[in-house]
Structure 1
Amino acid sequence: MLKHHIDQFAHIEITCGLFLDELQKIWDEVGEPEGDRDTVLLEIEQKCLEVYRRKVDAAKHCRAQLQQEIAVSEAELADIRSAMGEQSPHRDRKAGGSLKKELDTIVSQLEDIRKQKIERKNQFAEVLHQIRNISNEFWGDSEGNLYKAILAETDLSVRRLEELRKQLLKLQNQKSNRLKEVSDHLNTLNSLCLVLGMDLRHIAGEIHPSFNDSKGTKDVSNQTIENLAAAVQNLKEVKIQRMQRLQNLASALLEMWHLMDTPTEDQLMFLNITSKIAASEPEITDPNLLSVNLLNNVEAEVSRLEQLKLSKMKELVMKKKVELEQICSQMHIVTEAVNAMEYSVEALESGAVDPMYLLEQIELQIARVKEEALSRKEILEKVEKWLVACQEESWLEEYNRDENRYNGGRGAHLTLKRAEKARALVNKIPAMVEVLTSKTKAWEEQRGNKFLYDGGRLLSMLEQHSILRQEKEQDMQRQKDQKRVHGQRIAEQEALYGSKPSPSKSGKKASGTPREVATNRKFSLGGAMLPNPKPDKSASRLHPSKKGDFLNQKSSLSHQQHSGFAALPPEFF
C-alpha cells in the first residue's frame, strides 16, 4: 500500500515536471521575462498548496468525524452491553488500521447488539406484561407501576430477566393456588347451597360475575377471595343454625312418636329427618335437607303432633298409670306414688298440671319400680314357693279331715299321690322360711329399707308364721299327751271292769293298719295352717295380689282351727 502511494507521488512529480518543462519551452519561445515567469510559478505553487491544504483539511475533518462516530458507537455499544449485563471486550487498535474499517466493525457489532437488545426487551416486555396482568388480578392497577422503570432500559441483564421470570413463576403458582382456593370455595358454596336449598348462581354472581361464566377465567383478587370466604363462613353458620333447629325438631318428633305410639308407616315420611338427630355438621349432605320449606314442613308436623298430644295426654297418663299399677301388683309393691297419681289425673283434667311433667313423673316411678323389682326377684320367687307350700299344707289338712278319703273311688289314687307330694313339700316349709328370712335380712341390710310385701313387712309375716307354727306344734303335742293319758285311763278301767265293746260302725272306721294311723297323724300337722283349702291342683296358684291378704289372714284363721283339734276323732292323731 505504501509503495503504491510512493509510486503515485512520483508519477505526480514527473507529470508536474513535464508540464513545467513544456511551460519553460513555451516561455523561451515567447520570450517571457524572468520576473513574470517567477510570478506565474509562485502563483502555481500557491494554488497547489491551497488545493493540498483544502484536501488535508477535508481529510482531517473526515478523520475527526470518523473518530467521533467510532466514539459514539463505542459508547452506545458499551451502554447496551452494560444494560444487558455483558462486559465490554478490550479492543486493541492495530497500527495502520483505518478508521472506516474500525467504524464498520463497531457498527456491525452495534447492529448485532441492538437486535439482541430488542429481543431482550421483548422478553422483558412479555414477562412484565404477564406479571402486570397477574398483579392486576391480585391487587388491581395500583401495583402496575412497580415495573415501569425496568422498561426504561435501565437493567436488561439476564440476571434481572431470570429474577423477573422467577417472580412470574411465583405469581403463576400463587395464581394457581388462588384458582384452587376459589374452586374449593365455590365447591363448598355449591354443597352448602345444595343442602340449604339456595341458588348458587345468585350467591356466586353477587360476589363476582365471572363465577357464573363456566368457560371464562375466574376472578382471583384479594377482595373476591375474602368475599368468597365470608360467604362460605356465613352459609356454614346458617347450616349450623338450621341443623340445630332440625335436630331439635327431630327430637320433638321422636318424643311425640314415643308418647303416642305412632305407627312405623307414619314415621317413614320423616325418617330422613330423625336419622340425623345425632349427626355432625359434615355428615349432613343430603340435598335440601336444611331448606326452609323442609324445616317449615317438619315444624308444622311437630305442631300438629303437639295438638294431637294434648288430646291424647289423658289416655297416655292413664295407660302409664295402669302399667305402674300392674308392675307394683306383680312385684307386691305398694307405693304412695300410685295413690298420688289419681290426684294428678284429676289435676290433669282441670289443667292444673303440665301433662309432660306428669308423664315424666310416672315414667320415673316406673323406672324406679323396675329397678327395685330386679333386686326383689329372687326373694319373690322364694315367697311364691313358700306360699305354694302353705297352700298345699292347707289342702293336706282339709284332706286329713275328710272321713271318706280312704274310700276307693274314681281318682282316689291321684289324690293319694298328691297327698304324698304335699306332705313332702310341707316338711320343707321350715327350711324355706329360714332361707327366706336370711335373704330378706340381707336385702334390707344392703338397701337400708324394709322389704314390704303388699304393704306389710315380709320379716314380720315370716316371724308370725314361725310363731303360729310353734303354737300349732305345741297344741298337737298337748293333744297327743291328752290322748296318751286318756288311753291309760281307759286301760286302767278295762283292767278293773272289763273291756267295752265298740259299736260296729265306729269300729269299722277306726280299723286300719298302724301305718295308716301314722300317715293320718302326719297329715294332721299342716291342717291348722291355711284357710279355705281347695281339693284341686289349681288351688295351689293364687293371684299375686291376693297373696298378701292370704298371709294376713293366717293368724286369725289358725287360732280358729286350733280350737278344733280336740273335736277331731281319735284316728286323726
Structure 2
Amino acid sequence: MGSLQTPIGMRSSSLLDMSCGYLLKELQMIWDEVGEDKFEREKVLLDIEQECVEAYRRKVDHANISRSRLHQELAESEAELTHLLLCLGERSVPGRPEKKEGTLREQLDAIAPALREMRLGKDERVKQVRSVKGEIQKISAEIAGRPTYEDSSTNITIDDNDLSIKKLEEYQNELYRLHDEKNERLQKVEIYICAIRDLSATMETEASMIITKIHPSLNDLYGISKNISDDILKKLNGTVVSLEEEKQKRLEKIHHLGRALSNLWNLMDASYEDRQKFAHVIELLSFEPSDVCAPGSITSSIIHQAEAEVKRLDQLKASKTKELFLKKQKELETTCNISHMETPSTEVGDIINLVDSGEIDHVDLLTAMDEKISRAKEEAASRKVIIEKVDRWMLARDEERWLEEYDQDENRYSVSRNAHRNLRRAERARKEVSKITGLVESILVKTKSWEAERQKVFLYNEEPLVAMLQEYNNLRQEKEVEKQRLREKKKIIPQPVAQQDNFYVARPSSSSRNRSINGGYGSASPLNRKLSRGFSNNTSYTSLGTSLRRESSGIIKNTWP
C-alpha cells in the first residue's frame, strides 16, 4: 500500500532495486547451483528484459487510450455545454472555470457540475415548452372546432436547437393571445346564447332546443366544453338575426293589429272592458323592437287572439258600416233634395256587396261619404239664398195663378160669406205679384254670379235654373202681349157683339167659381198646375214651356172665338 502512494519515478527505481534485483539474485543463485552456462543465462535475461518491455508497452498503450478517452470526454462535455448554452440562450454558466487547469480528470470534474446543471435546465425548458405548446394546440383545436381528444402530447414537436427564453416567451405570448381569443369567443357565445334565450322568452319559443340544434356542446346539460369555432359563431349570429327578424315581423303584425283594433274601437265606440282585454297590444304601438324585452310580450297566441278579435270586429263593422252607409246615403239624398240638387250617383247594391266581401275599406267608404255630404252641404249653403228666393218666387207664382182665377170670376164682388176674405187676399196677392219681376231679376243675377264663380250650371231639379227663369219671363211677356192684344180687340169690337160673344163663353157655375177662388193653391187651372209640376218634378223645362204656350193659346181661343 505504501508503494501506491509513492511517486511514479521513485516507485519504478525501487521496483528495480528491490523486486527485480532480488529476483535476479535469487535466479543467479539457482543458476550457480544448477550450473547454468553463461549463454543460457544471457538468453533468459534477454527474454526477461523483452517481457518487461512488452509489459510496459501494454501499460503505456492502455494509459494512452485512457488519456485519449478523457480528452474526448472533455471535448464532448465542452461541446455539449456550449450547445446547451446556445440552445438555452445562455451566455455562460455560473461555476464554470474560466481557464483549463489541472489534469484531465480534474478538468472533467470541474465541468461536470455546470454540464449537469445545464442538462437539468434543458429538461426543465423542454417541459415548459411542451406544456405551453400543448396548451396552444389544445386551444387552437377548440377554436378550430376539433375535438380535443384528437390531439396527443406525442404529436408535439419541439426544436431542441432553440429552447431559449425568447422562444419560450414567444410560445407564451401566443398562448396568451389564444387565451384572450378563446375568452373573447366564449363571451361572444354567451352573448349569443343570452340573446337567443331573451328573444325566445319574448316570443315564447324553446330556447334549449334552438341552442342544442346549433351544437350540443352549447347546452350546459351535456357538460362538455363549448364549441367556439367560427362556424358555430356564424350559426349563432345567424340564429340571433333570424330571431330578431321574426321579432320584428311579429311586432309589425301586432302594430298593424293594434292600429286596426284602435280604429275599430273608435269606429264602433267599444266599451272599456272590451278595450282592456287587448290593452297590452295597444301599449306596444309606441314600442320599437329594441324596447320589447318582457317575457311573453309578442307570443304567437297574442297575435292569434288579436287576429281573431280584429276578424270579429271586422264582421261587426261590416254590418254597422252598411247601416252607417245607408244612413249617410239617406242624409246625402235629403240634403240634395232640400236644395233641389242632383244626388251623386252611388251604386248602393254594389257597395254593400263590396262591404260584405271586404274588398273595400270601411273607413275609406265612410270617409268618402262624409266628403260627399260635406261637399253637398257646402254647395247647399252656397245655393241657400238662391233657393230661398226661388221658393218665394214659387209662392208668388202660386199667388199669381190664384189672382188670375180671382180676376176672371165675375161674382168676386157678390155678397157671400168669403167675399171679404178673398178681397183681402187679392190685395196681398197683387203686392206679391208686383214683386215677381224684381224677384226673378234678382234670382237671375245671383244665379249667374254663382255659375261664374263655380264654373258650372245651376241646376234646379236637374234643370238649368237660368233657362227656367228666362222661359218664365218669355211666357209672361207673351201673356202680357196677348192680354194687351185682347184689350185692344175688345175696344174695336161693338158692344152687342161682345155681349153676344160673352153668351157663348164657358162660365163656371156659381158654386164652382166659389170653389176656384176660395180653394187656395190646390185648385189651380190646368196651366198653373202644369207650371207647378214643372218645378216640383224632373221634367224638361223646354217641353214645359211649349206645353204652357199651347194651353195659353187654347184658353185664349176658348175665350175669344
Which TM class, normalised by the smaller chain length? 0.5 to 0.7
Given residue 224 of structure 1, which amino acid in structure 2 is its aligned partner? I
Given residue 192 of structure 1, which amino acid in structure 2 is its aligned partner? L
Cα separation, partners in 2 of 1:229 and 1:25, compared to 1, 3 Å? closer
Aligned to 2:63: 59
Counterparts of 1:117 and 1:323, CA distance in 2 = 107
What is the TM-score of this pair, normalised by structure 1? 0.57
Is residue 443 from structure 1 mapped to residue 454 from structure 2 by the alignment?
yes
Q: Which residue among 88, 103, 112 is the counterpart of 2:108?
A: 103
Query: In the alignment, is the contact (CA less than 8 A) between 1:317 and 1:358 conserved in 2?
Result: no
Given residue 57 of structure 1, which amino acid in structure 2 is its aligned partner? D
Q: Which residue among 180, 202, 223 is the counterpart of 1:173?
A: 180
Counterparts of 1:313 and 1:99, CA distance in 2 = 121
Is residue 193 from structure 1 mapped to residue 204 from structure 2 by the alignment?
no
Counterparts of 1:59 and 1:198, CA distance in 2 = 91
Aligned to 1:121: 126
Counterparts of 1:330 and 1:171, CA distance in 2 = 90
Cα separation, partners in 2 of 1:302 and 1:266, compared to 1, 3 Å? same
Is residue 366 from structure 1 mapped to residue 377 from structure 2 by the alignment?
no
Aligned to 1:253: 261
Match of 2:308, SS state, is helix
1:539-554 to 2 correspondences below 5 Å: none
Q: Which whole-Å deviations, capped at 9, do the CAs of 1:10-39 have from their partners, x for residues lacking one?
A: 645774686499969988x97986959978
Match of 1:109, SS state, is helix
1:400-411 to 2 correspondences below 5 Å: none
Q: Which whole-Å deviations, capped at 9, do the CAs of 1:400-427 have from their partners, x for residues lacking one?
A: xxxxxxxxxxxxxxxxxxxxxxxxxxx9
Given residue 366 of structure 1, which amino acid in structure 2 is its aligned partner? M
Identity of aligned residues (%): 26
The more displaced of 241-250 and 295-304 is 241-250
Q: Which whole-Å deviations, capped at 9, do the CAs of 1:283-338 have from their partners, x for residues lacking one?
A: 54443233232223223323433444455454343334345456657987542336
Match of 1:225, SS state, is helix
Counterparts of 1:199 and 1:268, CA distance in 2 = 29
Given residue 319 of structure 1, which amino acid in structure 2 is its aligned partner? K
1:161-310 to 2 correspondences below 5 Å: 161-206=168-213, 207-212=215-220, 218-243=226-251, 245-250=253-258, 252-254=260-262, 256-276=264-284, 281-309=289-317
Cα separation, partners in 2 of 1:319 and 1:112, compared to 1, 3 Å? farther
Counterparts of 1:129 and 1:384, CA distance in 2 = 101
Counterparts of 1:209 and 1:21, CA distance in 2 = 92
> Of the two structures, which has the highest relative contact order with CA contacts closer than 8 Å and spacing of 6 or more?
1
Aligned to 1:68: 72
Report the CA distance between 1:132 and its aligned residue.
Answer: 1.9
Counterparts of 1:324 and 1:135, CA distance in 2 = 82
Gaps of 5+ in 1: 1-6, 399-426, 476-530, 533-547, 550-573
The more displaced of 297-306 and 36-45 is 36-45
Report the CA distance between 1:151 and its aligned residue.
Answer: 3.0
Q: How many residues align?
A: 438
What is the TM-score of this pair, normalised by structure 2? 0.58
Counterparts of 2:291 and 2:459, CA distance in 1 = 52
Cα separation, partners in 2 of 1:320 and 1:387, compared to 1, 3 Å? closer
Cα separation, partners in 2 of 1:11 and 1:359, compared to 1, 3 Å? closer
Match of 1:369, SS state, is helix
Q: Which whole-Å deviations, capped at 9, do the CAs of 1:441-473 have from their partners, x for residues lacking one?
A: 2332xxxx44557766677799999x89x99xx
Query: In the alignment, is the contact (CA less than 8 A) between 1:185 and 1:232 conserved in 2?
Result: yes
Aligned to 2:557: none
Counterparts of 1:154 and 1:148, CA distance in 2 = 18
Query: In the alignment, is the contact (CA less than 8 A) between 1:328 and 1:369 conserved in 2?
Result: no
Cα separation, partners in 2 of 1:278 and 1:30, compared to 1, 3 Å? closer
